[in-house]
Amino acid sequence: MLRDIVIDYVIKNYDRIIAKSKIFAGEELEIEDEIKNIPWEMFSHKTVTDKIVGGVDGSVNYIEYKGTMFTVANAEVIVLADEGLLRVDASGFADIIVPYWLPKERSKLYMEILEYKTALKALKENKDIVVLFDGSLLHSMPRMPRRYFTYSTKDIRYIEETFGERFREAEENVDVISREIVMEMLERDGENINHRILTIEIFELLSTLSLLLDPEFAGRILWVAKNSTDNSVFHKTIADIAILERYTIGPGFYTAGSSYLKGLEFFEIFDKIRRVPIFVYYARLDEKGPVLRVEAPYISEKEIKEYLALMSSISAGGYPYVLRVAHRDVIVRNNDVKALAGMLGLDVLGKVRGYL
């Protein structure tokens, strides 16, 4: 059995594996002055703002059939107000992925579009909300090879001129309009349009993100990650977030500098986005809580303390409670996908494999 083979491998390589684990646990880390004297700044836990905190999260799940995929996605914004936890906005869809090309990657792309649009709607309708996203903005750009795109200036300008108005209308309806546009293109142009399809879908993602990062919402959106692989501060084998969690004590924060979005510069609309300064902080909200990575567009070091105090005031186990609830509430479970597929009679398609 494979299980016996793996157990035998672990026994034979025990010392080597443990040696690696000690490095990443910090036991073998050389403690240099820059780590010994980390400038861990305190922040007051008293909030002096009337803002309320919302957490947004999205989820996607699917069943893969022969030649197609059935995808279910949803997103929601949860706020913690005087009345308790409230779902202020939610959206979702179930659909067949057409064409059957990069279906998992495109399903995730659709979910991210839905998440951004749901957050955007909440921000427009509730002027006092600060919305927290789970994860990293700087590492969220689609990482599909360029060969998958049609990314000439002419093509992307054509997308804007032809479909721009429909994208803007879909922002109000919180819908992933590129799904409809893809079907229209297939009917009009035939089968060989895969690269143009992905270009349109990513254009919709970026156009929505450009609205979120507009100065109109400056100071109202932050990304919070429980983990990170980034090591650009200390340049060690282990990630910066792990070093800071090990060598700092109590609530506080470390300013890691600022950065800009990279990766999709060949989209003209990206020019606006990549000029937005994204300040990066590592912070502990509670006495014994974990260190989190916080990415805050426009929010400088002078301002971040107010936001950390706000997050600390709704912290549960060192993590913003609204994000914890949104993540738990939004999950598309295997039984959900199975039930919806059953309603549609999709079993006749012949399931290959299913569920995340």
In a domain, 139, yes or no: yes
In a domain, 34, yes or no: no
In a domain, 43, yes or no: no
In a domain, 24, yes or no: no
Comparing 114-118, 132-136, 227-231, 263-267, the range with the smallest average pLDDT is 263-267
**Range of the structural domain that residue 227 is part of:** 52-354
Measured between alpha carbons, how far is 341 from 99 in angstroms, rounded to an integer?
18
User: What tokens were used for 177?
Assistant: 């309009």
Cα dihedral 41, 129, 212, 314 sign: positive
Res 348 pLDDT > 80: no
In a domain, 16, yes or no: no
Measured between alpha carbons, how far is 157 from 317 in angstroms, rounded to an integer?
47
**Averaged pLDDT for residues 176-205:** 83
Strands, DSSP E only, in the chain? 52-65, 68-81, 84-96, 129-134, 221-225, 252-259, 278-284, 291-297, 315-316, 319-320, 351-354
Measured between alpha carbons, how far is 296 from 321 in angstroms, rounded to an integer?
18
CATH of the domain at 131: 3.30.2170
In a domain, 3, yes or no: no
Indicate the number of domains in the chain: 1
In a domain, 79, yes or no: yes
**Averaged pLDDT for residues 114-138:** 95
Give the distance between the most distant pair of CA atoms in the chain: 65
Q: Could you tell me the CA-to-CA distances from 254 to 81, 119, 131, 219, 279 in Å, in that order?
A: 29, 27, 21, 19, 11
The answer for 26, left when phi > 0, alpha when psi is -120 to 50, beta otherwise, is left
In a domain, 14, yes or no: no
Mind listing the pLDDT tens digit for each residue in 261-289?
887 666 776 788 888 999 999 999 999 99
